[in-house]
């Protein structure tokens, strides 16, 4: 049995310049943390990319949330793929050039194998 992978898709439909910038920043943040970093005196070594701890949550009241126990837990993951479509409904832009709609697909892979012990712990 191999490691599990998880796919998520998000659609950004900003209403103004501030939301367009926020969508761009979110996309750039995920792309940044997917990549390794060059290290060493001659920049000959690659570090490991960032890791992610994903939790499924639900809101219990206006100001409180809890982890949803009905979904399996997810072990620490790395982001293996980011796909961005800046024109999911055809090419349309605001006056600033920002896209009217953008979809982002993320693919995460767990860093450890699923075992019976992990399943008993809710994974």
Concatenated DSSP letters for 39-78?
ETTTT-EEPPPPEE----EEESSSS-EEE-TTSPP---EE
Domain presence at residue 9: yes
pLDDT at 63: 85
The tens digit of pLDDT for each residue in 61-94 reads 888 999 999 999 999 999 999 999 999 989 999 9
Between these two residues, 83 and 44, which has the higher pLDDT value? 83
Q: Which two tokens stand for residue 110?
A: 């767990």
Asked if the model's pLDDT at residue 16 lies above 80, the reply is yes
Q: Report yes or no: 16 and 23 within 8 Å, Cβ to Cβ.
A: no
Q: Give the mean model confidence (pLDDT) for residues 10-20.
A: 95
Task: Tell me the C-alpha distance between 71 and 60, whole Å.
Answer: 16
- Residues of the domain holding 49: 5-116
Instruction: Please state the domain count of the chain.
Output: 1
pLDDT band at 54 (very low <50, low <70, confident <90, very high): very high
Domain presence at residue 121: no
Asked if the model's pLDDT at residue 12 lies above 90, the reply is yes
pLDDT at 50: 95
Domain presence at residue 123: no
């Amino acid at each position: 049995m191999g490691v599990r992978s998880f796919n998520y898709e998000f659609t950004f439909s900003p209403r103004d310049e501030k939301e367009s910038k926020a969508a761009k920043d979110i996309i750039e943040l995920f792309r940044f943390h997917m990549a390794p970093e060059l290290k060493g005196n001659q920049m000959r070594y690659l570090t490991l990319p960032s890791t992610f701890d994903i939790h499924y949550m639900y809101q219990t009241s206006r100001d409180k949330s809890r982890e949803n126990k009905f979904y399996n837990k997810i072990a620490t993951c790395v982001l293996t793929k980011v796909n961005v479509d800046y024109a999911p409904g055809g090419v349309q832009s605001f006056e600033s050039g920002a896209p009217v709609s953008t979809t982002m697909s993320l693919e995460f892979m767990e860093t450890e194998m699923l075992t019976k012990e992990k399943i008993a712990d809710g994974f």
